[in-house]
Amino acid sequence: MRTPHDEGPLSRRRAVAVAVLSLLLPGLGHIVARSVGRGWAWYAGGTLLGLLLLSGTVLLAPVPVMILAFVALTFLMLVPFNILAAADAYRVARAWRVRTPPGWLRATWLSILAMLAIGAAVQSSLTPAMRWRSFSIPSASMLPNLQVGDYLMVDTQTRGTLPPRGEIVVFVLPSDGRTDYIKRVIGLPGDRVQMKVGRLFLNGTMVPRRDAGTFLAAGDGPPMLLKRYIETLPLGAGATRDYAILEASDAEMLDNTPEFLVPPGAFFVLGDSRDNSMDSRVASVGFVPVANVVGPALTRFWARSFDRILQPVQ
């Protein structure tokens, strides 16, 4: 039979190690110091606090102000909580007290495994409900608007629904059913889309564009000086959307295409870097089924250039 007994304080070095563990995961250091009940109390508090913060990613759109609020609340709530947990773990580790040797149900390793399992279960159950998803840009096909190394927040609330014309949207590549692509929506069901000598035609009408100088493109290969234009896409009912596109020239491989008739339940996409994009003009992408939509890209939350961080995706 195990009986309670006095146990002296841990050394300062071990107490610091215990504090660091509870700083990383509140309660973990307490468990290692055999203060099991106190450790589980800190763990439960940290988990509930994390769930409260994550509820924002379920209910709110990932627009810049919401991302800033989430980061600020995380810093103001979780950081002090973890510091307090670490300080308490250090105090417990350095105190004289009566401790009960743990049985197998309260063993240190078992508690640690249980904490990790609960954390993984909570994360896996919340992930499908989270409205925010992050994506990184691996290629230069959406220059100049999205650059290699950009990290975006995507709103998944409209997953599987038809996106509006002109929106930059993340979708699952139809040909393999698993690769995430990001392009701009150009044609909706019933639209006729064609490229003629580098110019975009929508329903038989040339989409206007105006010269906007040049752009030094770097990403997939050596830097190239490309022509920059502002294209004005009609959205219907007199509304339009302006965005920048890039062209190497108007005589590239995909600058002349047949006319594409967008079928029901699908849409047509193009990359903004028109001569460096695999999009609906090629068979490997083709028309994108509405069911493949992940969501619109709303906010750039990280970029290599500081002035582009937390900028809306245009």
The string of pLDDT tens digits covering residues 8-31 is: 677 888 889 889 989 988 988 888
Residue 52, pLDDT score: 83
Sign of CA pseudo-dihedral 195, 197, 203, 206: positive
- Which residue type is seen at 99? R
Residues involved in catalysis: 141, 183
Q: Which residue has the higher pLDDT, 66 or 1?
A: 66
Torsion angles phi and psi, residue 220, rounded to 5: -80, -20
Residue 219, pLDDT score: 60
Residue 309, pLDDT > 90, answer no
Torsion angles phi and psi, residue 234, rounded to 5: -70, 135
Query: Yes or no: is domain 132-312 CATH 2.10.109.10?
Result: yes
**What is the distance between the alpha carbons of residues 66 and 69, in angstroms, rounded to a whole number?**
5
Per DSSP, 286 falls in state -
pLDDT confidence of 294, banded at 50, 70, 90? very high
Q: Identify the burial level of 151 via C-beta atoms within 10 angstroms of its C-beta, where 0-12 means exposed, 13-18 middle and 19 or more buried.
A: middle
**Whose structure tokens read 């329903």?**
203
Could you state, in order of their start, the residue ranges of all structural domains in the chain? 5-129, 132-312
Residue 101, pLDDT score: 52
Q: Which residue has the higher pLDDT, 262 or 4?
A: 262
pLDDT confidence of 293, banded at 50, 70, 90? very high
Percent of the chain with pLDDT over 70: 90
**What is the distance between the alpha carbons of residues 206 and 190, in angstroms, rounded to a whole number?**
17
Torsion angles phi and psi, residue 292, rounded to 5: -85, -5
**What is the distance between the alpha carbons of residues 4 and 34, in angstroms, rounded to a whole number?**
12
- Residue range 213-263, pLDDT digits in tens: 999 987 656 788 999 999 999 998 889 999 999 999 999 999 999 999 999
**Whose structure tokens read 């594409």?**
260
